[in-house]
Amino acid sequence: MIDCIIIEDEPLAIEKLRIFIQKIPELNLINTFSSGINAIGFINSNSIDLIFLDIEMKELSGIQLLESTSINSKVIITTAYENYALKGYELQVCDYLLKPITFNRFIKAFNKVQHELEKQKTTKVGSKIFIKTEYRLEGINTSCILYIEGMGDYRKIVTENKSIMTLQNFKELAKILPSDNFCRVHNSFLVSINKIEKIERNRITIKNNIIPVSDSYGKYFYKKIKSK
């Protein structure tokens, strides 16, 4: 399942994209935003696979958003203006959809994103990542990670047989972890969905560890586990 959001200031354009997304079972629309400014906090706090991004928006344009924010998601630009195509490709967007968007053209853009995400998944799932800890890089198999806990300036990565402390932040860690299995559930916790034993009253149990699910992250988390 590919989790996506729409950033678009035209209600009719949002609705058209929503209809297109609903026609593709592999796409899961998480949220919509009518301005780039409103979307920044969500982008910084959540692991999103794909962003449909309008260019011409008030206050903060799509190009300004891409240039000013560290975005790990795939991006498909949606715009009525052809002159932004070169700039979009310079910013390494996946595709450029010119309005009015047809469903056939939408499908082609989706297929391109799906192909790129599948390549990433192949290299990440069950693979080893390297974490900066003290004065070395330590290798961890992603399939062994239970959860990650924020502890002040540090993040504690809890695996099946050890814990590792790192100064890498949640966003940096989410970038190197497989997005289909790891999800932020709280300001201080990121969990491996495959390691969850049970969920009760907004509390997750993993190997006798109780992890809270906050209101701000809960909606996205519950949508993600239902789509797996």
The model's pLDDT over 157-205, given as tens digits with 9 standing for 90+, comes to: 999 989 999 999 998 888 788 878 899 999 999 999 999 999 999 999 9
Instruction: Give the confidence band of 222 by pLDDT, cuts at 50, 70, 90.
Output: confident
Q: Both 69 and 92 in a single domain? A: yes
Listed range (10-24, 36-50, 76-90) with the worst mean pLDDT: 76-90
Q: In the predicted model, is pLDDT for residue 212 greater than 90?
A: yes
Which of 93, 124, 155 is the C-terminal boundary of a domain?
124
Contact 145, 158 (CB under 8 A): yes
Of 59 and 158, which is predicted with more confidence? 158
HSE-up of 4 (CA within 13 Å, CB side)?
28
Q: Both 49 and 94 in a single domain? A: yes
Residue 192's nearest CA partner among 154, 151, 140 is: 140
Q: In the predicted model, is pLDDT for residue 115 greater than 90?
A: no
Q: Both 20 and 97 in a single domain? A: yes
Range(s) of the domain holding residue 155: 128-227
Q: Both 182 and 151 in a single domain? A: yes
Q: Both 58 and 162 in a single domain? A: no
CA distances 206 to 22, 34, 102, 192, 228, Å, are 33, 37, 45, 9, 18
Q: In the predicted model, is pLDDT for residue 88 greater than 70?
A: no
Q: What is the pLDDT of residue 118?
A: 78
Residue 144's nearest CA partner among 166, 163, 170 is: 163
Q: Both 84 and 132 in a single domain? A: no
d(CA 199, CA 91): 40
Q: In the predicted model, is pLDDT for residue 122 greater than 60?
A: no
Q: In the predicted model, is pLDDT for residue 123 greater than 70?
A: no
Which of 124, 144, 163 is the C-terminal boundary of a domain?
124
Q: Both 108 and 190 in a single domain? A: no
Q: In the predicted model, is pLDDT for residue 127 greater than 80?
A: no
Q: Both 50 and 138 in a single domain? A: no
Q: Both 222 and 181 in a single domain? A: yes
Q: In the predicted model, is pLDDT for residue 213 greater than 90?
A: yes
d(CA 113, CA 117): 6
CATH number at residue 60: 3.40.50.2300
Question: What contacts 87, CB < 8 A, 6 or more positions away?
Answer: 63
Q: What is the pLDDT of residue 219?
A: 84
Contact 113, 50 (CB under 8 A): yes
d(CA 54, CA 75): 10
Q: Both 112 and 14 in a single domain? A: yes
Q: Both 44 and 132 in a single domain? A: no
pLDDT in tens, 14-30: 999 999 999 999 999 99
Q: What is the pLDDT of residue 62?
A: 83
Q: What is the pLDDT of residue 120?
A: 67
Q: What is the pLDDT of residue 31?
A: 94
Average model confidence (pLDDT) across the chain: 87
Instruction: Give the confidence band of 53 by pLDDT, cuts at 50, 70, 90.
Output: very high
Listed range (18-27, 53-62, 90-99, 118-127) with the worst mean pLDDT: 118-127
Q: Both 135 and 212 in a single domain? A: yes
Number of independent structural domains in the chain: 2
46 phi and psi angles, rounded to 5 deg: -130, 150
Residue 220's nearest CA partner among 86, 10, 28, 17 is: 28
CATH number at residue 183: 2.40.50.1020
Which of 80, 106, 124 is the C-terminal boundary of a domain?
124
